[in-house]
Amino acid sequence: MRDEGESSYGRDVDRMRSEQEAKDKELDDTREHLKNVLDELEEAEDSRDALQTDLDKLEMALEKIRRELEQNTEELIKATAEVDVLRASCEEAESARSKLEESQAQQQVEHEKNIHELESSLRTAEKTIKELEDNQNNLQSSLSTNKKQATLALKVLKKVSITLGIVEVEENLMMTTMHS
């Protein structure tokens, strides 16, 4: 009977040892899993930091583009005002030329001199208008390009914001898993 008790005790000890080894293995596996989760979390944090750096750079680039847009808009407004002034000057010059032609009989010599001066001014004004219109077109092209760059930067910012949101959700899930 004693042998049966010792044998039963030995089996209980073996069973408890096996259970303890299984628990130890499960604990080791859990530790390894948590270590892997922590490593992934550190990588995610590094990735988030890199994304934040990229986001900061994009925000600075966007601010620079915004300032350039403001400057280009101001220059475009000034150029447009100058074109309007020159057009009005051209209209006035054309009107004056017509009046001079009407009084040609009285002041033929003076009239020809004035016509020559006005035509020269008109050519200069037209040349200046052409140059200003070219500048205006260039500014509009630059403005369009800057708008496209700003739109692209906004799309990238949205994607980065979405990515940062996903990383935060993953971090929250990891924290919830570790606390459970």
**Percent of the chain predicted with pLDDT > 70:** 87
Residue 94 CA neighbour count, 13 Å, CB half: 9
Closest alpha carbon to 59 in 153, 148, 162, 152: 153
Distances (CA, A) of 122 to 86, 131, 169: 10, 14, 69
Tokens describing residue 172: 């929250």
> pTM for the complete prediction?
0.35
> Cβ atoms within 10 A of the Cβ of 152, count?
13
Q: How confident is the model at residue 169 (pLDDT cuts 50, 70, 90)?
A: low
The amino acid at 145:
T
The amino acid at 13:
V
Could you tell me if 153 and 58 are in contact, meaning their C-beta atoms sit under 8 angstroms apart? yes
Q: Which of 36-50, 123-137, 141-155, 160-174 has the lowest mean pLDDT?
A: 160-174
Query: What pLDDT is stored for residue 123 in this prediction?
Result: 92
Tens-place pLDDT, residues 66-118: 999 999 899 989 989 998 998 999 899 889 878 877 877 677 777 677 778 88
Distances (CA, A) of 73 to 82, 86, 134, 154: 14, 20, 15, 20
